[in-house]
Amino acid sequence: MPNVPMRIAYISFVDLSDPYGPAVNETQFLNDLSARNDIELLACVPKPKQHLSEIFNEIPLSFFTMSSGPRRLIGWIESRFGALTHRITDFQPSLIVLRPSPLCFNVLLLLRRINCPYVLKTAGHGTAWPPKNTRPPLSQALRSVDKQIKHSIYRNASVIDTVSTPQRDSIIENHSLPPEKVIVLDNGVDVSLFTPEARRSARHSLGLSEEDRVIGYVGNYPMSRGGKEIIDVLAELRNLHGIKGVIVGDGGEATKCQDYADSKGVSDDVKILGAQPFDRMPEMIPALDIGFSIKKGREQESSELKVRQYLACGCLVVGSKGSNDFLRDKPFARVLSENETKTITKATQDFLRLERQNFLELQTAARQFAENNLSVYSRNNTRLNIWKKFLS
């Protein structure tokens, strides 16, 4: 008897046209699932604000319209909710996969109407919501309502995956869940897209030489997550021949990076490129020898796609503790317990002092680790094996 494909209805509130991390994760996740012969997929996502990549021409999508403000609580209930419910019902999924969102009351109703097991993917603890500019009485009320909605959804899910141990612990505590129900499974990287092969052309396009030792940051909010530290290290190691910096990303902080580099006297040694389209990332990251990702506070709990991209491109990593703890025993990474300039500079210097052959061996090991452990394909294999257990 032939194997029956798993029919997955996926619901996410992430705009797939967004150039930032969550949308990149969702794109790679959906692209991998849709290419599998043993999966039939229906992806229910918000109507995109911008043009979608051609990659989605091959992925079956069902769009809904996102509401904002107070109407978010109701969302797309009305006709849109009914139409989506009918679409999923007609699809006859064997499993619903949900990436939860704040105030997803609409999803709670949908799950109650459709008699189908469901799992949660990339669930977060929600501490960054409501937005900081929400006044306390309203923010407290919204947080309370959101917690009750999530409590009902989380409690009845077959399994929940999240990207880091601190987030797992927070979900278990906040929703009184049995520990075995929540697993840590971070997002993977497309290792066929992010490769070391483009190193020479990447350096040429950025005006860097083969002999330069390049430290860099690629991601949003560079002053808060690693760009500032690159400038500090360049200032500390200004006498080290050939050390250069590359900072890609904005979030309103590219100008601050430039001003800070000017104040430190290293503006000639760092290229601050601002926001760049995602399609350029595989052409830029291979230019780096060492990739930085320095997060603070609760941000350290979130998975860092940029770190996976660094490794896939054969870059060594200097990163903060938290979600990077899986790299603590790896020779191609330095996971820092504190984010002091002195500590970051020493970690960088230790790498740059290595003999060239030893450095190249670590770059090869970083790439191999990404291929074997961090690919989207391997992450989804793990997910699918876990999900299938709950359907058997």
Is the pLDDT higher at 337 or at 55?
337
Joined together, the tokens standing for residue 287 give 């230019």
Lowest mean pLDDT among 14-23, 158-167, 280-289: 14-23
34: confidence class by pLDDT, cuts 50, 70, 90: very high
Residues carrying CATH 3.40.50.2000, the chain: 6-188+375-391, 196-373
Q: For the residues 147-172, what does the mean pLDDT come to?
A: 90
Q: For the residues 51-73, what does the mean pLDDT come to?
A: 73
- d(Cα 94, Cα 130) in Å, to the nearest integer? 33
Q: For the residues 55-76, what does the mean pLDDT come to?
A: 67
Is the pLDDT higher at 133 or at 351?
351
- d(Cα 371, Cα 312) in Å, to the nearest integer? 7
Which pLDDT score is estimated for 80? 54
- d(Cα 158, Cα 150) in Å, to the nearest integer? 14
Whether the per-residue pLDDT at 156 is higher than 50: the answer is yes
What percent of the chain clears pLDDT 70, i.e. is strictly above it? 92
Q: pTM here?
A: 0.83
Lowest mean pLDDT among 25-39, 120-134, 141-155: 120-134
Lowest mean pLDDT among 22-31, 136-145, 164-173, 306-315: 136-145
H helical segments located in the chain: 21-34, 82-91, 105-113, 136-156, 165-175, 199-205, 222-225, 227-236, 254-264, 281-284, 305-312, 341-352, 356-369, 376-391
Q: For the residues 81-108, what does the mean pLDDT come to?
A: 87
Fold of 6-188+375-391: Rossmann fold (3.40.50)
Whether the per-residue pLDDT at 335 is higher than 80: the answer is yes
Output the furthest CA–CA distance in the chain (Å, rounded): 70
Whether the per-residue pLDDT at 161 is higher than 70: the answer is yes
What percent of the chain clears pLDDT 90, i.e. is strictly above it? 59
Whether the per-residue pLDDT at 218 is higher than 70: the answer is yes
Whether the per-residue pLDDT at 143 is higher than 90: the answer is no
Which pLDDT score is estimated for 18? 83
Which pLDDT score is estimated for 183? 94
φ and ψ at residue 93, rounded to 5 degrees? -70, 150
- d(Cα 128, Cα 123) in Å, to the nearest integer? 13
φ and ψ at residue 106, rounded to 5 degrees? -60, -40
φ and ψ at residue 28, rounded to 5 degrees? -65, -40
Lowest mean pLDDT among 61-65, 120-124, 134-138, 221-225: 134-138
User: How many CA atoms within 13 Å lie on the side-chain side of 23?
Assistant: 20
Which pLDDT score is estimated for 2? 56
Whether the per-residue pLDDT at 70 is higher than 70: the answer is no
Lowest mean pLDDT among 79-88, 121-130, 327-336: 121-130
Q: Residue 118 is inside which H or E element, if any? A: strand 118-120
Which pLDDT score is estimated for 22? 84
Superfamily of domain 196-373: Glycogen Phosphorylase B; (3.40.50.2000)
Which pLDDT score is estimated for 301? 67
Q: Among 107, 126, 116, 120, which Cα is nearest to 170's?
A: 126
The secondary structure of residue 46, as a DSSP letter, is E
78: confidence class by pLDDT, cuts 50, 70, 90: very low
157: confidence class by pLDDT, cuts 50, 70, 90: very high
Average pLDDT over the chain, rounded to an integer: 88
